[in-house]
């Protein structure tokens, strides 16, 4: 299932508009660690929250 048909994924237009705001630093982002994975939650009003999963590369052997 790709991003366009995944119901749990935010719409591309939503990501574009909020991505610009996040890049400028105008949005409060809340880091959340659940089930061994990080995500960022961005409040979009009183009841709505934009959740973005954070995927990082694992350190190579001998690093970290």
Distance separating alpha carbons of residues 53 and 37, to the nearest angstrom: 8
Which pLDDT score is estimated for 32? 93
> What pairing do the DSSP bridges indicate for beta strands 49-53 and 30-34?
unpaired
Question: Which of the four pLDDT bands, split at 50, 70 and 90, describes residue 55?
Answer: confident
**pLDDT class of 33 with cuts at 50, 70, 90:** very high
8 A C-beta contact, residue 18 and residue 42 = yes
Q: Is the pLDDT of residue 2 over 60?
A: no
Q: What residue segments make up the domains of the chain, in order of their start?
A: 27-54
Task: Report pLDDT for 64.
Answer: 53
- The pTM of the full predicted model, rounded to 2 decimals, is 0.61
């Amino acid at each position: 299932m790709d991003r366009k048909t995944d119901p749990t994924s935010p719409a591309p237009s939503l990501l574009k508009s909020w991505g610009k705001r996040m890049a400028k630093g105008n949005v409060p982002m809340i880091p959340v660690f659940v089930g061994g994975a990080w995500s960022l939650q961005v409040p979009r009003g009183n009841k709505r929250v934009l959740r973005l999963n954070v995927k990082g590369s694992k350190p190579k052997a001998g690093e970290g």
